[in-house]
Chains A and B, each alone.
Chain A
Amino acid sequence: MNIQEFIQKVEHEFDQINPGSLTPESKIRDYFEWDSINALVFIALVNVEYDVEINADDLQQSETVTDLYQIIENRKNSVA
């Protein structure tokens, strides 16, 4: 897995993000709020694609796309 691939999956899942607009440094809250629906859609995406569980605190504490990606990578590695 790599961060570009992760970005593509996120852009594909969320209609409100224009393809090609997200970068690793992008601030997530510039694109959307973590309301309950967005949070569930993102959690589902990560769980199905990477088999990693994300919780509400993870979302609250992540500022950038890289922050989120890092959580996934760390958990993925700790399981493997």
Chain B
Amino acid sequence: MGLFSIANCRIAGASACVPVNVVNNADYEYLAPSEREMLIKTTGVAHRRVADATTTSADLALQSAQHLMQSMQWNASDIDLLVLVTQTGDYLMPATSRLLQHRLGCPKHCITLDVNSGCSGFVDGLAVASALVSSACFKKALLLTAEIPSRYASPTDKSTFPLFGDAAAAVALTSDKDAAPLFFNLQTDGSAYEAIMIPDGGMRSPVHPVDSFRLNTFAPGIERNRLQLALDGIKVFNFSLREVAPNIRDLFSFAGKELTDADHYVFHQANMLIIDSVRKKLGLEKELFPISIDRYGNTSSASIPLTMVSELSHELSSKKQQLLFSGFGVGLAWGSCLAETSHIFVPELLEV
């Protein structure tokens, strides 16, 4: 069972950072104006942020981490653990969290780990980081997520290009024996791995000088090469509608709580139609679901903490909150977490 709880770990702060460059999907000239309008209405993505060509995931993660540490008055020399969730690391190897240890100025005894996970990545990373904090009694740990999906989407693929935005986020974790337990429900179905993937560039199918770069047409408006993101929209959509609601119901019952007990349900900002449909299946009110996808797009593993920072900063910093996090997608993998926060540090969204 993917159901478990982790004690002694407290979420103490959250920050997020987005590139300053705004892209408006109403200007996406590859589509006819009526089609753009329909796309924005259905997916919810009106604007998104895109990093310039020289900015990497480590750059965004660094900014977000420093922004949070400054607001909490944390010193890099006290950080025991850095977990970075990313699918757009700076290099194939080494792991990007290793570089961040140095760039942040963390000590050599700081443990660094990359988690290769996307849409469910924030929940996956929180499980890994909180488990280590809890068992090793780390005083100060950072969970970072950083994604630059704009760089692997084909400009001539309407099923991916207008959806994704770039962003990074940082969450501060501390060991605290009085912390309310974090409840998790993590699940995987690797049989559907082809539903969201970049086919070439790994060891199964290394970069081929010609074939990898050839533009293939899959349907009208869906043209990409094998080094770019392929997304089977209907398959992923049906998977989300099938799996996410039961996963969340199971989590609440495992935690001994009612489905309606959370103050906010912070979903991975996949697209508006998915969020709304799963919400209706759960029978929950719209107001309980903070939304940031209209301004930032789908930012993969960064979307949940980004939404916390952009939509809930007042609630998070001024009172106790019962939060439900739910991420679902690439893998296929999906997971949810029920967390209690109280007066956490949430510095203003950083634009870089």
Cβ of B238 within 8 Å of any chain A Cβ, yes or no, is yes
Main secondary structure on chain B at its contact with chain A? helix
Interface string of A9-46 (1 = CB under 8 A from B): 00000000000000000000000000111011101100
**Complex contact B234–A43 (CB within 8 A):** yes
Closest residue of chain A to B41 (Cβ to Cβ) is: A37
**Complex contact A55–B234 (CB within 8 A):** yes
Residues of chain A contacted by B235 (CB below 8 angstroms) = 55
**Complex contact B241–A40 (CB within 8 A):** no
Q: Which listed residue (B219, B220, B277) contacts A44, Cβ 8 A?
A: B277
Interface string of B110-143 (1 = CB under 8 A from A): 0000000000000000000000000000000000
Measured in the bound complex, the distance between the Cα atoms of B242 and A70 in whole Å is 21
**Complex contact B38–A43 (CB within 8 A):** no
Cβ of A53 within 8 Å of any chain B Cβ, yes or no, is yes
Cβ of A47 within 8 Å of any chain B Cβ, yes or no, is yes
**Complex contact B38–A37 (CB within 8 A):** yes
Residues of chain B contacted by A35 (CB below 8 angstroms) = 220
Main secondary structure on chain A at its contact with chain B? helix
**Complex contact A56–B42 (CB within 8 A):** no
Closest residue of chain A to B271 (Cβ to Cβ) is: A40
Q: How far is the CB of B235 from chain A (nearest CB, A)?
A: 8
Cβ of A79 within 8 Å of any chain B Cβ, yes or no, is no
Measured in the bound complex, the distance between the Cα atoms of B163 and A36 in whole Å is 13
**Complex contact B233–A40 (CB within 8 A):** yes
Q: Which residues of B contact A (CB under 8 A)?
A: 38-39, 42, 158-159, 219-220, 233-235, 237-238, 241-242, 273-274, 276-277, 280-281
